[in-house]
Amino acid sequence: MKKDFSTEQYLFHQGTYFKAYEYFGVHREEDEDGKTVTVFRTWAPDADSIFVVGDFNGWSASLPMTKITDRGIWEVKTDLYFENGWRMKYKYMIKNGDRTFYKADPYAVFDGTHKETASYLYVLPDFCWDDGDWLEARKTAICPGTDRPAYTAPINIYEIHLGSFKRHEDGTYLTYRELADFIAPYVKRMGYTHIELLPVAEHPLDESWGYQGCGFYAPTSRFGEPADFMYFINKMHKYGIGVIMDWVPAHFSKDPHGLIEFDGSLCYEYQGEDRKEHKVWGTRFFDVGREEVQSFLISNALYWMTVYHIDGLRVDAVASMLYLDFDRRPGEWVPAHDGSNRNYEAIAFFKKLNSAVFGCFSDVLMIAEESSDWPMLTKPVFAGGLGFSFKWDMGFMNDTLRYFSLDPVYRRYEHNRITFSMMYAFNENYVLSVSHDEVVHGKGSLINKMFGDYGQKFDGLRCYLTFMMCHPGKKLLFMGCEYGQFREWDCTSSLEWFMTGYEKHSALWMFTAALNHFYLEHKQLWERDLSWDGFKWLKVDDADHNTAVFLRYAADGSFVMCAFNFSAAELNGYTVGVPKAGAYTEIFATHPGAQNVVYSEKEPCDGFGLSVKLDLPPLSAAIYKYEPIKRKK
């Protein structure tokens, strides 16, 4: 029986159709006579005529489409039959005035890559998912019914670029399935809870890392077919690993087969010269104030969660959307109606996006990469916020990496770079991110940012990673940092896994795994991440000694003491005030065995009536468990 799609058409034009991928693109449907036909649909409001061209008709203008709504939905039904594996290609030939151009399908589920700019006729497989246990388990990470969701589970993210994580010896890509079979057990063994994939949606240029996309509904064909990507996600879930995908709603590439001036006019992009293009990136900005673009993007976010079981999105370049003057000089932007630099269309879009996502999936993550101090980013929409789950804490990353790059002799003058993050740590829900952006474009690798000689760099990185793990906030680390790759990340070649065969790198590799598992096993480091209830300074302003000491609390009141010596000198008998009498036993350290257990003494310090004396090696960190045990006589 023929289905009436008038509701879908209406909602699409209203910007409230969030399953647009079920209507647009290529589908098999029943016509008026009950016969199964292949239907092509696209949105091109200013096109004069459109033809579907491809391998099946010799790329001729023999399959014209009909405009079926006043606001630009085009459709054609055909007897064309295809099966997966045929790899038949197609495009839309669009005419506008005397111009003719060929476009890939914006809703295609499988696209060519690099020079293969056409879309493929492809039916998404009826994949046999067996990740039900994971999907049920992820619901336990969120405490519902609050105005600020409490993420009571640990989140430790391993960021991956699939094209350079690992390659064959001849330099060719591994497939999604090969990558899954390597990554899943590796990430589980290393103690990460999630992976975050740099953009997987189809993109022509390797060097864009996926951030300049063309095929927003198509996982890149570099590594295989959509069914293979489903296998990848399923494999991660079977190992208990969540999958976050980098998602780019801000902008798209200017490759001619993509969305740029799709129907011969400014269609998917903003129409004003002040907004339509990001000149530095060489991309076009999505017009998120246009209803059909809202349907396209919000449907896309839900598509990855529905069809591919993605567990969350890291939303790229949020600041570029929120600010009208982002990366623009005076005179290059037009203020909002109130004279401000706020993009009120983008604000409304993010509220709409997050409301739609959490209305369908209450247990996924929406993480904003937002580089300013935009208020209430992670507050719920109903409370006046933008509705994200988390935002990247760019300030923490910038401050701490600057601090660890300094000669310890000069660290006393910039001690606030270690402590300042706690001034705002609970204003938002944060992910502490050491991402791909910090190890590329001349910035050097993470280990090379550390001060000192060869050995000191490894000591410094162990101390840094431990500080990040103990600091409030969820965690993210880019691939290769876990074993100290010295070479800056290069997206065109594999990580240097051979480095793990060297003693210092192997030891760091094992240390990172041990630290990750320690984090997972100690709820004090994550159960109260979002408020002062989970944190207390003991030693905050001793800049002269380059130290920091604090407590982290679990919901049951138990705590651990985290002590850091950021200097290059050994500190023996370093006095730290403590709140409770008893034993403080070292349970994790960058230099194990330096001090097994210390007992509180009735010596006032740091505003407490009790204190302990710690022996801290240079560039070290130690974590102590408290027990109310008296010293044996």
Active site residues: 316, 369
In three-state secondary structure terms, 231 is helix
Residue 20 burial by Cβ neighbours in a 10 Å radius (0-12, 13-18, 19+):
buried
Give dist(CA 63, CA 88) in Å, integer: 15
Q: Which residues contact 98 (CB under 8 A, 6 or more apart)?
A: none
Report the 10 Å Cβ neighbour count for 341.
14
Q: Which long-range contacts (CB under 8 A, 24 or more apart) does 573-576 make?
A: 573/613, 573/614, 573/615, 574/545, 574/547, 574/613, 574/614, 574/615, 574/616, 575/603, 575/605, 575/611, 575/612, 575/613, 575/614, 576/538, 576/539, 576/549, 576/605, 576/606, 576/611, 576/612, 576/613, 576/614
Closest of 277, 239, 265 to residue 137, by C-alpha: 239
- Interhelix angle for 454-470 vs 394-405, to 10°? 150
Q: How many residues does the chain have?
A: 633
Beta bridge partners of 539: 549
Contacts of 379 (CB under 8 A, 6+ apart): 147, 148, 385, 386, 387
CA separation for the pair 127, 102 (Å, rounded)? 32
Say which DSSP state 576 is in.
E
Structure tokens given for 221 = 């064909």
Alpha helices in 266-420 (DSSP H): 291-307, 318-322, 344-360, 394-405, 408-411, 416-419
10 Å CB burial of residue 37 (0-12, 13-18, 19+) is: middle
- Which of these, 561, 384, 371, 402, lies nearest to 466 by C-alpha position? 561
**Phi, psi dihedrals of residue 212, rounded to the nearest 5°:** -120, 85
Q: What span, in angstroms and rounded, lies between the C-alpha atoms of 34 and 170?
A: 52
Residue 434 CB-half CA count within 13 A: 25
**The two three-digit tokens of residue 30, written as one number:** 């029943």
The two three-digit tokens of residue 466, written as one number: 């431990």
- For the chain, what is the largest distance between any 2 Cα atoms, rounded to a whole number of angstroms? 96
- Count of beta carbons in the 10 Å neighbourhood of residue 273: 11
**CB count in 10 Å sphere of residue 458:** 21
- DSSP 3-state of 359: helix
DSSP category for residue 406: S
